[in-house]
Amino acid sequence: MRIGFDGKRATQNFTGLGNYSRYILNILSTYCPENTYHLYSQKEPVKPGLINSRIALVQPKKKKLNVGWRSFGIVKDLKKDKIDLFHGLSNEIPFGIKKSLIPSIVTIHDLIFLRFPQYYNFIDRKIYGFKFKYACKNANKIIAVSEQTKRDIITFFRIDPEKIKVIYQNCASEFKNSERKHEISIKYQLPEKYILNVGSIEERKNILVIVKALKYISDDIHLVIVGKETVYANKVKKYIEDNGLTARVHILKNVPFIDLPSLYQLAKVFVYPSKFEGFGIPILEAMQSGIPVIAATGSCLEEAGGPNSLYVDPENVDGFAKAINQVNENIDLKAKMIREGHDYAKRFDDHIIAKQILDLYKETIK
């Protein structure tokens, strides 16, 4: 098969959508090398080597004049390149692709902008709503990254459940091992014992609940937060300062990916109190790193963390404090959570995900 992909996020983005796009490209080209893979991107990759050499990069001939190429003009290139199937990796497909008779699949990551509109501005909500709904209505098949996302697609867009396939993703293999822990501990001046949280410091991610929980946790246990700051971070910092927690909370910004595995593996526990997620890749990263996970109820985090992680209502400060204390004080529980978490994460192995996607491609082309 000749498979085409939307390459905007893969070539330009280093957060969730970009990581997912490159992950899919890498596992398909590794485990399904019999196909040819074409990545359509208006811009060059922002870093050399970002896209692996097994992927053919396709760009418009006149880049500066093709502002709408990703949404419209790309269809002509897909036809010219005799693409058998197009996969929109980040919630979108080109307009008019259905009329071209080229089968298409779209991955929908989440519909948080519909569930929690207060976290998004009006213009973004309208643009996302239009593009996501168009993709779901016009694609031949939809990949949802979790059962929660599948339910939301059905609820908000009234899509036939038979059209939607839940296919999870894995985290990068680097989280399974790291030989740089001592170096990273010195680089970031890490405390001996710390709780870890990774993710943007924004209201939906809800990190303030863990900061508040610190008052009920032993003083020798610190909190390390890794993520991009938003306006919400000011609220978090004010609480930290007003409550004398400055020495126990460490906020790390602009952490390169290569440092993340060690930051996970040096932690005592990973806590993810987000009010809502599409899946929750940091949870997988934690389990692959061999640390226990405590997460919030209410969305799909149980899908990522499995039955042996602990879950707490996202508003329950006391509940998070008790869960953290329980894990830190009960050696047998902690060992069981690490062991069972590692075993649960095997269901997300790359070869399994690659086969599920390839099977869906074949089914769609029939």
Which ranges in the chain are annotated with CATH 3.40.50.2000? 2-170+349-365, 174-346
As given in the structure block, the two tokens for residue 358 are 């390839």
Instruction: Quote the pLDDT of residue 106.
Output: 98
Distance CA 46, CA 34 (A): 28
Residue position matching structure tokens 């060059």: 44
Nearest to 139 by CA among 97, 109, 110, 169: 97
Q: Are 245 and 219 in contact (CB under 8 A)?
A: no
- Residue 366: its pLDDT value, please? 82
- For residues 363 and 167, what is the distance between their CA atoms, to the nearest angstrom? 14
Q: In the chain, which stretches have pLDDT less than 50?
A: none
Cβ(288)–Cβ(282) under 8 Å? no
> What does CATH list as the number for 2-170+349-365?
3.40.50.2000
Distances (CA, A) of 139 to 166, 284, 308: 15, 29, 36
* pLDDT (0 to 100) of residue 36: 97
Q: For position 64, what pLDDT does the model report?
A: 56
Query: HEC states along the chain?
Result: CEEEEECHHHHHCCCHHHHHHHHHHHHHHHHCCCCEEEEECCCCCCCCCCCCCCEEEECCCCHHHCCCHHHHHHHHHHHHCCCCEEEECCCCCCCCCCCCCCCEEEEECCCHHHHCHHHCCHHHHHHHHHHHHHHHHHCCEEEECCHHHHHHHHHHHCCCHHHEEECCCCCCHHHHCCCCHHHHHHHCCCCCCEEEEECCECHHHCCHHHHHHHHHCCCCCEEEEECCECCHHHHHHHHHHHCCCCCCEEEECCCCHHHHHHHHHCCCEEEECCCCCCCCHHHHHHHHHCCCEEEECCCCHHHHHCCCCEEECCCCHHHHHHHHHHHHHCHHHHHHHHHHHHHHHHHHCHHHHHHHHHHHHHHHHC
State the fold for domain 174-346: Rossmann fold (3.40.50)
CA 351 to centroid of chain Cα atoms: 19
CB contact at 8 A, 223 and 250: yes
Q: Which token pair is 256? A: 């390169």
What backbone torsions phi and psi does residue 204 show, to the nearest 5 degrees? -60, -30
Phi, psi torsion values for 258, nearest 5 degrees = -60, -20
298 touches 275 (CB < 8 A): yes
